[in-house]
Amino acid sequence: MKTIRRLDLDDARRLIAGAAIRAQQIGVPMCIAVTDESGQLIAFERMEGGKVTSTTIAIDKAFTAAAAKKATHDYGSASQPGAPAYGINSAIGGRLMVVGGGLPVLFEDEVVGGVGISSGTPAQDQDVAEAAIAHWRRQD
């Protein structure tokens, strides 16, 4: 038997709130997903104007970041043509996302969840994911 820590629903709401604040600042309505450390969805919000396709993409970015313990943009560079993880983007039925915007959420060096953002450019999505975590840390 072992003990692990994971985000609870309050954490997920704070991450979403932090993401929404940043999304409004940059003027890009986003889909925002938060998963637990196993990649299972805790909470999701599609802001007014967020893209329908981004619903799945945000959820899968959060899933990837949490369950693979790795930022999705790191998979982006590792999976370029010629790079070692080339072709991994279609793994797990295409759920493994290699586009920026998915970040693991760390607590005392452990992955406790994941946040996934989609609707902007990958750089915007990643920026909003970072802002979500920074907001969550400030309140923690």
Give helix 122-139 / helix 9-26 axis angle, nearest 10°.
Answer: 130
CA distance 66 to 103: 7
C-alpha distances out from residue 112 to 35, 60, 134, Å:
9, 16, 15
Q: Residue 5 corresponds to which tokens in the numbers above?
A: 């820590």
Q: Is 94 in the site for a second copy (CB under 8 A)?
A: yes
Binding residue for a second copy, selected from 21, 24, 106, 121, defined by CB under 8 A: 121
Residue count (the chain) = 140
Q: Is 17 in the site for a second copy (CB under 8 A)?
A: no
CA distance 30 to 58: 9
Binding residue for a second copy, selected from 27, 48, 109, 138, defined by CB under 8 A: 48
Binding residue for a second copy, selected from 23, 57, 129, 131, defined by CB under 8 A: 57
> Residue 131 CB, nearest distance to a second copy (Å)?
18
Binding residue for a second copy, selected from 28, 62, 100, 130, defined by CB under 8 A: 100
> Residue 138 CB, nearest distance to a second copy (Å)?
15
Q: Is 139 in the site for a second copy (CB under 8 A)?
A: no
Going across the sheet that includes 102-107, the strands are 41-46, 31-36, 110-118, 102-107
Q: Which residues of the shown chain bind a second copy in the complex (CB under 8 A)?
A: 1-9, 11-12, 36, 38-48, 51-57, 60, 63-64, 66-69, 75-76, 79-82, 84-94, 96-100, 107, 112, 121-123
